[in-house]
Amino acid sequence: MSLIPSFLGDRRSNIFDPFSLDIFDAFPLSNTPSSAFANPRMDWKETPEAHIFKVDVPGIKKEEVKVEVEEGRVLQICGERSKELEEKNDQWHRIERSSGKFLRRFRLPENVKMEEIKAAMENGVLTVTVPKQEEKKPEVKAIDISG
């Protein structure tokens, strides 16, 4: 449970976070029609087995989202929601749904299995699972004591 209200922003955002490549992570965007989708909300959690990214992308088809890993272990999630075509005869009463491109980038830790990254989309939520390598435990050798 957080003691910091969620309306004050994500308390875990940090411009000094070595894994975040989003320079504006710590600065929530203003509440403009185009900003609502410009930076989709996401969670990044670490379990003993994997790093799990969940990104809210409602109304986006999986074909409109790209998940890539660039050189240097950089996970990149990007996509675009196209703007609805406006007809000359249409009269709009409200326009609240957002459109536009988004891009999120994160530097992955060194202990991940790059070749086993998986992504799935269900109910407007993209889940990217990045498995971890098993930690090598130090080899302990018992030494016989003579005498």
Measured distance CA(5)–CA(130) in Å, rounded: 30
- C-alpha distance across the termini of the chain, in Å: 59
Measured distance CA(61)–CA(70) in Å, rounded: 23
Ordered by where they begin, the domains of the chain are: 13-82+97-131 (2.60.40.790)
Phi, psi dihedrals of residue 63, rounded to the nearest 5°: -70, -15
- pTM recorded for the entire structure: 0.66
The 10s digit of each residue's pLDDT in 62-110 is 999 999 999 879 999 999 887 777 777 888 888 777 788 999 999 999 9
Measured distance CA(9)–CA(31) in Å, rounded: 13
In the prediction, which pLDDT does 8 show?
A: 45
The 10s digit of each residue's pLDDT in 5-38 is 444 444 444 555 555 655 445 444 444 444 445 6
Report helix, strand or coil for 94.
Answer: coil
Which tokens hold the place of 69? Answer: 């890993």
